[in-house]
Structure 1
Amino acid sequence: MEHDVSPSPGAPAPMLSSADVARIAALLDRPVVLVGMMGVGKTTVGRRLAAMLGLPFVDADEEIERAAQMAIPEIFAQFGEPYFRDGERRVIARLLGDGADKDRKVLATGGGAFVDGETRRLILEKAVSVWLDSDVDTLVERVGRKDNRPLLREGNPREILTRLRAERQPHYAQAAIHVVSGQQPHAVTADRILRAIDSWL
Structure 2
Amino acid sequence: MAEKRNIFLVGPMGAGKSTIGRQLAQQLNLKFFDSDKEIERSTGVDIGWVFDLEGENSFRNREERIINELTKKRGIILATGGGSVKMRETQNLLTARGVVVYLTITIEKQLARTKYNKHRPLLQQLKVPTRDFLEELARDRDHLYKKIADITISTDKQNTKIITNRIINILTSS
TM-score, scaled relative to structure 1: 0.80
The 5 A counterparts of 1:20-31 are 25-27=1-3, 29-31=4-6
Residue 118 of structure 1 pairs with residue 92 of structure 2: no
Compute the displacement of 1:184 (Å).
Answer: 1.6
Asked if the contact 1:38/1:111 (under 8 Å) is kept, the reply is: yes
**Partner Cα distance (1:165, 1:32) in 2:** 22
Partner of 2:80 in structure 1? 109
The 5 A counterparts of 1:41-190 are 41-97=16-72, 103-155=74-126, 156-174=129-147, 175-190=149-164
**Partner Cα distance (1:80, 1:154) in 2:** 13
User: Which blocks of at least 5 consecutive residues in structure 2 are unaligned?
Assistant: none
Query: Per-residue CA shift, 1:150-198, capped at 9, x if unaligned?
Result: 2124455321111101211110002111111113210011111112223
SS at match of 2:2: helix
What letter corresponds to residue 150 of structure 1 in structure 2? P
SS at match of 1:44: helix
What letter corresponds to residue 71 of structure 2 in structure 1? L
Asked if the contact 1:115/1:172 (under 8 Å) is kept, the reply is: no
Asked if the contact 1:36/1:131 (under 8 Å) is kept, the reply is: yes
Partner of 1:6 in structure 2? none
Q: Which runs of 4+ in 1 moved over 3 A?
A: 153-156
What letter corresponds to residue 179 of structure 1 in structure 2? I
TM-score, scaled relative to structure 2: 0.92
Compute the displacement of 1:134 (Å).
Answer: 0.8
What letter corresponds to residue 76 of structure 1 in structure 2? F
User: Which blocks of at least 5 consecutive residues in structure 1 are unaligned?
Assistant: 1-24
Compute the displacement of 1:61 (Å).
Answer: 0.6
What letter corresponds to residue 133 of structure 1 in structure 2? T
SS at match of 1:51: helix
RMSD, matched Cα? 1.4
